Amino acid sequence: MPRARTSRPLVRLLRPTTALALLALAAPSLYAQPAGGPAPAAAALDASSTALPIQRITMYRSGVASFERTGSVTGDANLQFRFSTAQINDILQSMVVLDLSKGKGRIDGISYGSKEPLAKRLASFGVDIADNPAAGELLARLRGTPVRLTLAAGEVTGTVMNVETRPTVFQGSNGTDTAVHNLPWINLLTAEGVRSYNLTECRGFEIRDEALAAELSKALAALAEYRADRTKTVDVSLSGEGSREIVVAYVQESPVWKTSYRLVLPEETKDSPGGSLTLQGWAIVENTTDEDWRDVTLSLVSGRPVSFRMDLYEPLYMDRPLLPVPSEQGAMARLYDGSAGFEIANALKDEAKAVQDSAMLGVPAGAPRPAAPAEAEAGGARGRRMSYKDLDSSTAAAQARAVESGEVFQFEVDHPVTVERQRSAMIPIINTALKGRRVSIYTASEGGQHPMRGLEITNSTGLQLMPGPISVFDDGAYAGDAQVSYVPQGDKRLLAYALDLDVVATSDDRGEEEVRRVRVVQGLLELQVKYRRSVTYAFGNKDASRPRTIITEYPRDTSWELAEGTKPTETTDSVLRFETTAGPGGSATQKIALERTVLQTYQLAEFATDTLMLYAKNGRASDAVVNAFREAQKKKGAILDLQRQIAALERERGEINTDQGRIRQNMGTGTIDRQSDLYTRYVKKLGEQETRLEAIADALVTANTDLNRANADLAAYLAALNVE
């Protein structure tokens, strides 16, 4: 194998001392300030948080939260707040600063560290390392700069002229075999003149221009800073006299606050299948910031204001839109539609007003909360099953009150809330009675043998119920989970939380059609056909101790109408709901009949005679329609006769032409003597055929004329034909 004249590889190009110097230059923090200047950002941040702590947080269901800081300052002040870099756009878009001193002070401005694209920032230094240049390329950019190279033979000092690639000869171990490779060489202007050195033999180099070395250090520091820069400081400059109250408010991205519910059902008996339910609602809030929320006033808004992000922080060097990434909700649990429109009974309006003040305190309107059992039975509470009364009387009292401001509904927690940084909290916001009844829900489109065990609830709380999961407890035991969508005051919803194995469902589908009327409209036979379809659901209740109220959901199809005697108890945009009751150990049926009328049109003259005669026999087609049909058939028959005549003439002409071709071919072969009888017969037959062809041509002209006249006669007849 060839052996290179030098086997020293290209190693790191920074001497240890130089590397340490660059690291030292890169060490100062982004927020470091000159001696005697303001304190470092972190210290100033703590001071600002103390001077202007968070007093109020309003969380929305659109992914943002509004923060209000309130505090006092004296004289001129500079408040610093730290935010994550990703939040700066929200701050620039929404921050509001108020001085409530009524003329004693003013807001001088808000400043923040500008964010420039890294490539542009690196390109601004004396040594451009934005494109991650190789060592040879970096030295080429230092033309005219004094450097010190560390080679295997020692150190060399000079000024960089250029870096070039040269063919370099490698010699084998036997001294004869050679190989040529292109390697980087540097040309230095030294005291002895221009000297060239193979960069593959260079162990390192040092920039002797202190200013340029400092620029390279700053560029490397900018790289390190860019990777570590995850927070930014926003400075609020204030000027004025005396003590003044300052408010700083802003909106920033925040997790959507969520709700979860516990629904407690009373004990179900044969005589009491329903009753008043107990609803407990919890709000789940998350503090994903790096600051503790201590004793803040927390409001949870049900509305979803329009919210978007706009890149105000990044300097723009060209016009280009920044659009948010579209998101889709994942697959969710089963939700039931609300009824079409708001069905708010007058009684609910009065009840909602009474509940408004008492529901959030955990007391149902019109009645005190049932008392808990005085004490456990013998044996103590240990091992005793949790009962409905335990759940109903011992649930956490709501700690929020409902506030309706304009068109916005919100829960405002009635005591200061503390949530430490990067932690979450559950806050009880609802604890009240809820109107509802037990039902079994059978969804026809899903089929299945069993309906779902569920509830029909009416929002009688005087509040707006947010979407969320519901854990259902039946007589002290967990019964299943349900999900509820947004429920306005007074509206109804169905909840399904378990499969009702005690009820078995079967179905029987049938369909029929009937021609109701036959008439002729502008020459077309029009049939009015009525289609009917029905399905009968049979439900068997195997529970011998409790009845079942069964709600059947049937798909709504606007092209069909409900037959007479079929009336749903409720209608939504997608389903019709029907209700029936199966007694203990009994059964029930629910028949749903639909119908629709369709107009079908046919060509009168082409309709089947037997079918029309059957309609006439059943009284669906009048004598006038039958007579019109017969007349059209007669005219159509004349047309068919002419078409058959023309076809026969054309067929005969074709046969004659074929026979003449055969005869002429035989006559032209030269094998038949012109004086022979055969030749004479051929000539005679050709003459007769020519006579017949002339007659056929005349007959075709006459027949086509008659056919055009017959078609026109039929078209004119049908165009003016309207018969009931």
Q: What is the pLDDT of residue 482?
A: 93
Is 347 contained in some domain? no
Joined tokens for residue 16: 């240890």
Is 611 contained in some domain? no
For 464-515, what is each residue's pLDDT tens digit?
888 899 999 988 889 999 999 889 889 999 999 999 999 999 999 999 998 9
DSSP string, 511-533: EEEEEEEEEEETTEEEEEEEEEE
Both 363 and 397 in one domain: the answer is: yes
Q: What is the mean pLDDT of residues 296-315?
A: 77
Q: What is the pLDDT of residue 129?
A: 82
Question: 159 pairs with which residues across the strands?
Answer: 146, 189
For 40-85, what is each residue's pLDDT tens digit?
333 333 445 567 899 999 998 888 999 999 999 999 999 988 888 7
pLDDT for residue 360 is more than 50? no
Both 304 and 430 in one domain: the answer is: yes
Q: What is the pLDDT of residue 363?
A: 39
pLDDT band at 666 (very low <50, low <70, confident <90, very high): confident
Is 2 contained in some domain? no
Joined tokens for residue 433: 């009675």
Q: Which of 251, 274, 304 is the last residue of a domain?
A: 251
pLDDT for residue 32 is more than 70? no
Rounded to the nearest angstrom, the gap between the alpha carbon of residue 301 and the centroid of all alpha carbons in its chain is 22
Q: What is the pLDDT of residue 220?
A: 85
Is 560 contained in some domain? yes
Q: Which of 546, 572, 604 is the last residue of a domain?
A: 604
H or E stretch including 690?
A: helix 677-719
Q: How many CB atoms lie within 10 A of CB 718?
A: 20
Place of tokens 């009416």: 458
Which domain range does residue 556 map to?
A: 503-604
Contact 215, 125 (CB under 8 A): yes
pLDDT for residue 643 is more than 90? yes
Both 220 and 260 in one domain: the answer is: no
Q: What is the pLDDT of residue 49?
A: 53
Question: 405 pairs with which residues across the strands?
Answer: 408
Joined tokens for residue 338: 């609300």
Within 13 A of 211's CA, how many CA atoms are on the CB side?
Answer: 2
Q: What is the pLDDT of residue 337?
A: 63
Q: What is the pLDDT of residue 27?
A: 29
State whether the Cα torsion 432-437-438-440 is positive or negative.
Answer: negative
Both 200 and 294 in one domain: the answer is: no
Tell me how many domains the chain contains. Answer: 4
For residue 635, the SS3 value is helix
Both 423 and 522 in one domain: the answer is: no
For 682-694, what is each residue's pLDDT tens digit?
899 999 999 999 9
pLDDT band at 171 (very low <50, low <70, confident <90, very high): low
pLDDT band at 188 (very low <50, low <70, confident <90, very high): very high
Of 392 and 399, the structure prediction assigns the larger pLDDT to 399
Both 561 and 481 in one domain: the answer is: no
Edge-first strand order for the sheet with 77-84 is: 77-84, 231-240, 105-112
pLDDT band at 395 (very low <50, low <70, confident <90, very high): low
Both 132 and 194 in one domain: the answer is: yes
For 88-127, what is each residue's pLDDT tens digit?
888 888 999 999 988 888 999 998 766 666 677 777 778 8
For 411-420, what is each residue's pLDDT tens digit?
888 889 999 9
For residue 110, the SS3 value is strand
Q: β-strand 423-443 against 492-499: which pairing, if any?
A: unpaired
Both 279 and 205 in one domain: the answer is: no
Contacts of 333 (CB under 8 A, 6+ apart): 469, 481, 482, 483
Average pLDDT over the chain, rounded to an integer: 79
Is 208 contained in some domain? yes
Q: Which of 519, 590, 523 is nearest to 554 (CA)?
A: 590
Q: How many CB atoms lie within 10 A of CB 189?
A: 14
Q: What is the mean pLDDT of residues 660-664?
A: 90
For 339-358, what is each residue's pLDDT tens digit?
544 333 344 444 444 444 44
Of 513 and 385, the structure prediction assigns the larger pLDDT to 513
Is 101 contained in some domain? yes
> What's the Cα-to-Cα distance from 6 to each of 11, 151, 186, 690, rounded to whole Å?
14, 12, 16, 110
Share of the chain above pLDDT 70, in %: 76
* Exposed/middle/buried for residue 277 (C-beta within 10 Å: 0-12, 13-18, 19+): buried
Q: What is the pLDDT of residue 336?
A: 64
Is 457 contained in some domain? yes
Is 160 contained in some domain? yes
Q: What is the mean pLDDT of residues 607-613?
A: 89
Joined tokens for residue 460: 């009688």
For 511-562, what is each residue's pLDDT tens digit?
999 898 999 998 899 999 999 999 999 999 999 999 999 999 999 999 999 9
Both 535 and 644 in one domain: the answer is: no
Of 228 and 706, the structure prediction assigns the larger pLDDT to 706
Both 113 and 91 in one domain: the answer is: yes
Both 194 and 302 in one domain: the answer is: no
**Cα-Cα end-to-end distance for the chain:** 108
pLDDT for residue 138 is more than 90? no
Both 588 and 675 in one domain: the answer is: no
Question: 532 pairs with which residues across the strands?
Answer: 512, 595
Q: Which of 447, 482, 499 is the last residue of a domain?
A: 499
Of 318 and 712, the structure prediction assigns the larger pLDDT to 712
